[in-house]
Amino acid sequence: MYPVPRVSAEHLAARRRQIVEAARRCFLREGFHRTTMQDVIAEAGLSVGAVYRYFPSKADLINAIAEEAVGGAEEVLAGIARQEPPVPLIEALGRVLAYVETQAGDEGVLRIAIQVWGEAQRDPALATFVAGKYAGFRHHFEVLVRRAQRGGEIPADADAEAVAAALFALVPGWFLQLILTGAPDRDTYLAGVRALLGR
């Protein structure tokens, strides 16, 4: 009896990545609902069994894509919230938008994020996932706001949670405009935010 060859973790990760990338291309071309698992299998160039081994359903693929669509921005924001000395709020927002801008092209994950929002309206599990992720974003912004309050950048009696929610809203507010209309550019948008903040 021959031993079954062991597959490395790197190989498994690469295969999973191959499938996720194929699904992302399909979703960008056709949207979630028009894309079938057969489309993803053909795009990935793999067998049916290979794809279903990693993703038993299209919903699993959508969840993986959703994670990718918001995960990078969350990592950037979490890093800024931990930085010493604390980063001024407008600079923190600028850094987040700079990352977002890298994902706003035709192949970027932000176009997928918009589809995720729509899908979350009909899929309770995805809605729970999105709500949890966005609560995490607001938390990171709240950390930044509380640090800004200690530094005198924000009034000490301001509701940090409310300020954080408003700051977070500036991120999708910008990239929706950028994707749907092509404007404003990041510098123009930040100039507007500075004017609103009186900075």
Instruction: Name the residue with tokens 């009034």.
Output: 155
Query: Quick one: fold of 1-56?
Result: Arc Repressor Mutant, subunit A (1.10.10)
List Cβ neighbours of 30 (8 Å cut-off, separation of 6 or more). Answer: 39
**The pLDDT value given to residue 42:** 97
**DSSP state, 185?**
-
Measured distance CA(63)–CA(142) in Å, rounded:
26
Residue found by looking up tokens 């800004």 in the block: 148
- The pLDDT, as a whole number, for residue 198 is 76
Measured distance CA(186)–CA(154) in Å, rounded: 23
Please list the pLDDT of the chain residue by residue as tens digits (199 residues): 555 556 688 988 999 999 999 999 999 999 988 999 999 999 999 999 999 999 999 989 988 888 877 778 888 999 999 999 999 999 999 999 999 999 888 877 888 888 889 989 999 988 998 899 999 999 999 999 999 999 999 999 999 999 999 999 999 999 999 999 999 999 999 999 999 887 6
Q: Give one DSSP letter per residue of 53-104, joined into a string.
A: HH-SSHHHHHHHHHHHHHHHHHHHHHHHHH-SSPPPHHHHHHHHHHHHHHT-
Q: What are the C-alpha distances in Å from 28 to residues 66, 111, 157, 162, 195?
A: 13, 7, 45, 34, 36
Q: What is the domain partition of the chain in residue ranges?
A: 1-56, 66-198
Topology adopted by domain 66-198: Tetracycline Repressor; domain 2 (1.10.357)
Q: What pTM value is reported for the model?
A: 0.83
Pair 81, 143: CB distance under 8 Å: yes
